[in-house]
Amino acid sequence: MSVSEEQVAPTLARYAEQTRRAIDKVFMDGEPADYLYDLIRDYVGREGKGLRPGLLLATAEACGASIRSALPAAASLELLHTAFLIHDDIEDHSRLRRGQPTLHELHGAALAINAGDALANLSARPLMSSAFPRYRTREVLAELQLAVRQATEGQALELGWRRHAVVDLAAVDYLELVGRKTCWYTTMAPLRIGALLGRWRPEAAALDRLGFLAGCAFQIADDLLDLQPAGQAGKEPRSDITEGKRTLMLIHLLGTVTGTERRWVVTYLSRPEEDRPATDQQRLLAMMQAAGSLAYAGAFAAALADAAQQELERAFAEVPPSAALDFLRALVGHLVSRTS
């Protein structure tokens, strides 16, 4: 366990456990179990890192809200995120999620698409329940809808780039993509929703910048983990390379290599996924290492994380000190330094 994990793991686990209990309270069984609710419970039960609800709950606490009052929002966000994962896995042809076969591998794409739709719909339940004040429901729903809008726009960009073999990309395109696809529902929405539930209001523009910077740093760190021999926890290692995902490392490589080498990369990316043999994948990774793409991305993420810490101090300058605020500081550092 790294230093950052020691600092954040126990609190993150506590928030995750509280969110899980909030989900269990409202979450619904129903029929057909074998074609729908068993599928949903399978994915909801696969434990993730709990970053999103943890960030939301810590922000709410730091802003003076009780955890109890923020739990319905955290539960809805976590369920919505899980619904996304089901569809993302289909769109990306992913085979493993959280150490088990993806839902479409187990039940086919049709039932998995439908289960994702059902779960996205159910995700509003905690917010619509009597435990959550009515006047907040609309505000939080609007935030979640904004996050989904951004996430679907980012996902469309990423899928479009892959489908049309787009290679003419710079770091700024990557940040635009990740700003929409990852940041909104991973960091920006949790921060914004947490803040609107509290008494003390962090500075809104700085909070959004914090979310953007921390979310981008998180995504780059995530993509770097994918390239490690062990990969990310519970996923197939190096699936980004198989899928031709436009990571910062790939964009750096495309901007660095020239001549035959660049043409080889472009050809690799224009081939269908099933025509990308393992030897070619290893070659692409070796080229990234030789071009310094991994080191470049690591330094990029660290710089973003530093900037995020500064925005955090700006955003919360007028908010009283608290254990929750200290946890937020540690969590932002952890997003980049985590090892799984």
- Positions touching its own copies (CB under 8 A) are 30-32, 34-36, 87, 90-92, 107-111, 113-118, 120-122, 124-125, 128, 134, 137-138, 141-142, 145, 148-149, 152-153, 155-157, 159-160, 163
The single-letter DSSP state of residue 189 is H
Q: How far apart, in whole angstroms, are the C-alpha atoms of residue 21 and residue 72? A: 10
Output 34 or 168, the one with its CB closest to its own copies: 34
Smallest separation, CB 125 to its own copies (Å)? 8
Q: How far apart, in whole angstroms, are the C-alpha atoms of residue 133 and residue 50? A: 24
Smallest separation, CB 314 to its own copies (Å)? 29
- CB-neighbour burial class of residue 199 (10 A; exposed 0-12, middle 13-18, buried 19+): exposed
Smallest separation, CB 156 to its own copies (Å)? 4
Smallest separation, CB 123 to its own copies (Å)? 10
Q: Which residues contact 230 (CB under 8 A, 6 or more apart)?
A: 237
Smallest separation, CB 108 to its own copies (Å)? 6
Q: Which of 287, 222, 277 is nearest to 252 (CA)?
A: 287
Q: How far apart, in whole angstroms, are the C-alpha atoms of residue 10 and residue 336? A: 18
Q: What's the number of CA atoms in the CB half-sphere (13 Å) around residue 1?
A: 8
Smallest separation, CB 10 to its own copies (Å)? 35
The residue written with tokens 């900037």 in the block is 307
Handedness of CA 8, 13, 14, 19 (dihedral sign): positive
Query: CA angle, corner 19, sides to 111 and 47, nearest 5?
Result: 50
The residue written with tokens 């150490």 in the block is 99
Smallest separation, CB 321 to its own copies (Å)? 37
Smallest separation, CB 85 to its own copies (Å)? 12
Output 39 or 336, the one with its CB closest to its own copies: 39
Output 146 or 206, the one with its CB closest to its own copies: 146
Output 118 or 307, the one with its CB closest to its own copies: 118
Bridge partners (DSSP) listed for residue 100: 97
Output 173 or 236, the one with its CB closest to its own copies: 173
Output 67 or 128, the one with its CB closest to its own copies: 128
Output 180 or 338, the one with its CB closest to its own copies: 180
CB 16 within 8 A of CB 54: yes
Smallest separation, CB 128 to its own copies (Å)? 6
Q: How far apart, in whole angstroms, are the C-alpha atoms of residue 260 and residue 110? A: 42
Output 157 or 324, the one with its CB closest to its own copies: 157
Could you tell me the two tokens for 96? 């493993």
Q: How far apart, in whole angstroms, are the C-alpha atoms of residue 267 and residue 338? A: 34
Output 135 or 260, the one with its CB closest to its own copies: 135
CB 260 within 8 A of CB 244: no
